[in-house]
Amino acid sequence: MPDQAEELRRRLQEVHGQGAGVMQTPASGQISGRVITVASGKGGVGKSNLCINFALGLQNIGYHPIVLDADIGFANVEVLLGARPKRTILDILDGADVWDTVQESASGLPFLSAGSGLLDIHSLTPRQMARLLEGVSRLHERYDVILVDGGAGIGENMERLIRAADQLLLVTTPEPTAIADGYSLLKLLAARGDCPPVQLVVNRVQTVLDGRVASEKLRLVAGRFLNMDVGVLGYVLDDDSVGRAVMRQTPLLLDAPNSTAARCFVQLVHNFVRAEVKPPKVGIAGFFERLFKRSRGRAGDPADPAVFPAHPVG
């Protein structure tokens, strides 16, 4: 497995070293310590695929990311990586060392399975909570970016994963239902307050213009009705290579690094590391502290008169 991982990394570096000059600078460190939740308003928009390839793109320029598979009940990360984790984050409660719970795929990407009970923490004793926090907080010793693959849709668990993070990557497609569901997720976050900075990725676009139209539609309604500033990270062009990579259970950046979609993923990373970003709230350790803290009662959601527009914004 290590030999295969090294070969795959070498191939990726060679391809991008021969490319158009994108991503040739080493990691600047400006996003180190950051926790990024990748989420979507609905399933089937390519969220997990983006999360994995985004992490590989960061790895290729010198960062040390780890993917936290928190898509409870689906575990898409391990499926897409062709891996079977032997342990999950909850094994720490039984005394497992955190480094024994971290898994590494054949492609060399480290990931951590959340298990089916990560967010069901109300039954944990204070001692168990302290053990869990002590273990996962050590991740910063080896990794400088955590990418959280959150579940699709709107729910309390998804909301908590987003609020605990330093940044939200919201993935959608140009389909009206996907855009509307993405808006609904932002609406929930806006109503509850304390939403991290949001950057939008429009996946599976036929043309760059389609991506611009879709992102502008969502950005404008979020600004008008939610008073939320949504950034646009970029677009991923529709590409049959993605489906073939999924079938092979190999990340696209390694399976078809010269493909159109792979170059789009690389450009997304390029855009992300060069964007002006706020310093992490409390870093990786703080993410888990915020995630596992006892929830407090909230008032009901305020009414929102927003009506999603029926036509694209030109």
Q: What is the pLDDT of residues 196-229, one digit of tens each?
A: 999 999 999 999 999 999 999 999 999 999 999 9
Q: What residue has token string 């990394």?
A: 9
In the predicted structure, residue 304 carries a pLDDT above the cut 60: no
- What are phi and psi for residue 252, nearest 5 degrees? -60, -40
Using CA atoms, how far residue 303 sits from 190, 192, 227, 230, 274, in Å, is 12, 12, 14, 21, 37
Dist CA 148 CA 166 (whole Å): 11
Q: In the chain, how many H helices and how many E strands?
A: 12, 8
Cβ-Cβ contacts under 8 Å for 145 (sequence gap 6 or more): 31, 32, 33, 34, 35, 36, 55, 58, 63, 64, 65, 66
Structural tokens at position 112: 């951590």
- Residue-wise pLDDT tens digits, 149-159: 987 766 777 78
H helix intervals, the chain: 2-17, 47-60, 76-80, 98-101, 126-136, 156-164, 176-192, 208-226, 240-248, 252-255, 260-274, 283-292
In sequence order, what are the residues at sequence separation of 6 or more whose Cβ sits closer than 8 angstroms to the Cβ of residue 109?
Answer: 52, 55, 56, 59, 65, 67, 81, 251
Cβ atoms of residues 198 and 70 within 8 Å: no
pTM > 0.95: no
Q: Of the ranges 20-24, 59-63, 138-142, 211-215, which one carries the lowest mean pLDDT score?
A: 20-24
Q: What integer pLDDT is reported at residue 27 of this predicted model?
A: 46
* pLDDT tens for each residue of 40-81: 998 899 999 999 999 999 999 999 999 998 876 667 888 899
Residue 198 gets which letter from DSSP? E
pLDDT of the residue at 21: 34
pLDDT range class, residue 88, cuts 50, 70, 90: confident
CA distance 161 to 155: 10
Phi and psi dihedrals of 226, rounded to 5?
A: -115, -5
